[in-house]
Chain A
């Protein structure tokens, strides 16, 4: 019990106790009470987006960059429904986001009142959990519980639906301490017996390979993973979400695996004798289309914090539930005990490195004179950005070019929409990342199709002084779908040619942002410098060839190591 507090006061008190410093949101009728309270707030920065989807993505990007839950809010009805895509995006990639949605007053619920939507029902299947708060007495319990659920176990988005009167009424109820849910005990301590068996298999392995996913980053276990890999001399392939787990210029790094993965990573998956998959979920984009031909000869080990992922897509020999950090640390401990049987890991390690280098070699793209290709642009971006820079991506070819060619040095520095594949994610996510890490360079590798979905957030970035850089790979097409149409649908480019493309430079300038068109390779470096020096949000419009393809790729129905478009690689 505390002194009597207004609902909005309780919300702010809880947010401060959860160490929330930034909220991304958009006001509306039923959300006026909470925004009214934020009007006087000095410890929490409230950032006005220009579309609620931007708020959800920004909170998501904030969480990915910082490791802390991102917070967004929207009004009832359309405000809440506009958050939906962003919330599912976060849940699919296991990112902790807490969303506050306003609701019509409790008495009006169910009357089809103005701007009423069944937010509780709509968001139930797209979040990790959701709440409809029916009494101000339950506010503190709900908010603290929501943060706990969002940020423990396998993380995800949580929605708190706040009727107008619940925000405004007063209560003396205030829960202190940890909120407990009878049915929620995320089992994160790995089983020692199973760990021991796994350690033994890893020690006995001749060609060990680690496949690391976003779970390793979420568990802040990247350093431990690198230690384990070095100890075993194991190659490390990552999923899209795992990019940055190991510096991609590390001798044991093989890069991204999957449909658009690197050939060497895919080949190694099917050549290793023990596959240790940690914090990944064997998504169809990572495994290719034929599950039977994914690492067919390897002893498969799968460690994940979510037991429902084990044996879901791929049947494994050794499943283990546990937090990635605990799993990896314990594995190192057990493996060290086997010192007497430890073999020379150098031979395999050297082979991994050799493959890594061969892959690198075949990726040196000969550009046609001074004209721009995505590969060249991203290689220049690699050179320009420092080791702490954060790169976000949109979805499509731009994303796969970035995943393929951008060399990520550290975890939480490559931010991309994996599971849901949401176009328009990268720019607002970059805004969120820059708010979380204002000292870092933040760059969104975008496509013209994706950027135009969220370009209104230029106003957000200008008003709130969030200087991120958007590099548009502008091919005037929805490139990835066009590529599929070219390769598998007889070049029938149905609605993928975008027609009128805005002048992105003028568009940027109309917001007061910096804009520059880039047409020559020799200008890339300077344009990046101009953008980062401008001090405001910037748009670089890279004019690339309209029909470029991102290759190699695993064609529909194909096996993971049978990629098309590898002709230019000398080793196959």
Chain B
């Protein structure tokens, strides 16, 4: 089932998060990840929801979301024309023996080292979620002590209009 990213502009009212997520559970749709943050508009928040479903199911989700009074705008983001980011913090087991190797891979993924202890390294990576998936897979070889991901946030790219001739 394809993953879909839904971007929702919502009025900053008490209960609007519950109302939105309640719609998903009531209609039997799973939320993969969810981020909520202030938007450029005062009094409005932006929610980025990742879910799975085919075109028809997502159309239903879009319509149901649009029915909620506090939701002002719903966008289904096209992955090809959007910038999609996820932030991951992970603590990997790394001692003298393999510390260099961990750092080498981290560098290759443009991941920052945010903390080092005798037995672990804490890394930070903000990237496309699929790149993070690959990064995490590699790090599993060293043993992951803790892993935190923020969930996806995304923004659509502005498509430059060709000047008419």
Q: Which residues of A contact B (CB under 8 A)?
A: 120-121, 124-125, 129, 132, 134, 149, 181-184, 306-308, 311-312
Please give, as numbers and ranges, the residues of chain B lying within 8 Å of A184 by CB-CB distance: 69
Give 24 pairs: A residue, B residue, CB < 8 Å, sorted on A. A120-B15, A121-B15, A124-B15, A124-B18, A124-B19, A125-B22, A125-B26, A132-B14, A134-B14, A181-B69, A182-B72, A183-B70, A183-B71, A183-B72, A183-B73, A184-B69, A306-B67, A307-B63, A307-B66, A308-B63, A308-B64, A308-B67, A311-B56, A311-B59
Please give, as numbers and ranges, the residues of chain B lying within 8 Å of A129 by CB-CB distance: 69
Residue B116 lies at the interface, judged by CB distance under 8 Å to chain A? no
9 shortest A-B CB distances, which residue pairs? A308-B63, A183-B72, A184-B69, A129-B69, A182-B72, A183-B71, A125-B22, A308-B64, A307-B63
Please give, as numbers and ranges, the residues of chain B lying within 8 Å of A134 by CB-CB distance: 14
Which range contains the number of B residues in contact with the other chain?
20 to 34
Please give, as numbers and ranges, the residues of chain A lying within 8 Å of B64 by CB-CB distance: 308
A182 vs B43: C-alpha distance when bound (angstroms): 11
Per a CB cutoff under 8 Å, which of A124, A125, A182, A312 touches B60?
A312
Q: Which residues of B contact A (CB under 8 A)?
A: 10-11, 14-15, 18-19, 22, 26, 56, 59-60, 63-64, 66-73
Please give, as numbers and ranges, the residues of chain B lying within 8 Å of A149 by CB-CB distance: 69
**Most chain B beta-carbon neighbours within 10 Å: one of A124, A149, A183, A311:** A183
A310 nearest CB neighbor, chain B only? B63
B26 nearest CB neighbor, chain A only? A125
Quick check: B72 and A124 within 8 Å, CB to CB? no
Tell me, rounded to whole Å, the shortest Cβ–Cβ distance linking A138 to chain B: 11
A444 vs B22: C-alpha distance when bound (angstroms): 36
Please give, as numbers and ranges, the residues of chain A lying within 8 Å of B59 by CB-CB distance: 311
Please give, as numbers and ranges, the residues of chain A lying within 8 Å of B73 by CB-CB distance: 183
A183 nearest CB neighbor, chain B only? B72
Please give, as numbers and ranges, the residues of chain B lying within 8 Å of A124 by CB-CB distance: 15, 18-19, 22
Quick check: B71 and A308 within 8 Å, CB to CB? no
Tell me, rounded to whole Å, the shortest Cβ–Cβ distance linking B54 to chain A: 13
A228 vs B132: C-alpha distance when bound (angstroms): 60
Tell me, rounded to whole Å, the shortest Cβ–Cβ distance linking A312 to chain B: 6
| Besides the known contacts A132-B14, A134-B14, A182-B72, 12 further A-B residue pairs in the complex with CB atoms under 8 A apart | A125-B26, A129-B69, A132-B15, A181-B69, A183-B10, A183-B68, A183-B71, A307-B63, A307-B66, A308-B60, A308-B64, A311-B59
Tell me, rounded to whole Å, the shortest Cβ–Cβ distance linking A413 to chain B: 30
Please give, as numbers and ranges, the residues of chain A lying within 8 Å of B14 by CB-CB distance: 132, 134
Quick check: B11 and A182 within 8 Å, CB to CB? yes
A113 vs B121: C-alpha distance when bound (angstroms): 49
Tell me, rounded to whole Å, the shortest Cβ–Cβ distance linking A155 to chain B: 13
Tell me, rounded to whole Å, the shortest Cβ–Cβ distance linking B45 to chain A: 12
Quick check: A121 and B18 within 8 Å, CB to CB? yes
A311 vs B62: C-alpha distance when bound (angstroms): 13
A120 vs B22: C-alpha distance when bound (angstroms): 13
Tell me, rounded to whole Å, the shortest Cβ–Cβ distance linking A188 to chain B: 14
A181 nearest CB neighbor, chain B only? B69
A129 vs B19: C-alpha distance when bound (angstroms): 9
Please give, as numbers and ranges, the residues of chain A lying within 8 Å of B66 by CB-CB distance: 307-308
A312 vs B14: C-alpha distance when bound (angstroms): 30
A184 vs B59: C-alpha distance when bound (angstroms): 19
A132 vs B15: C-alpha distance when bound (angstroms): 10
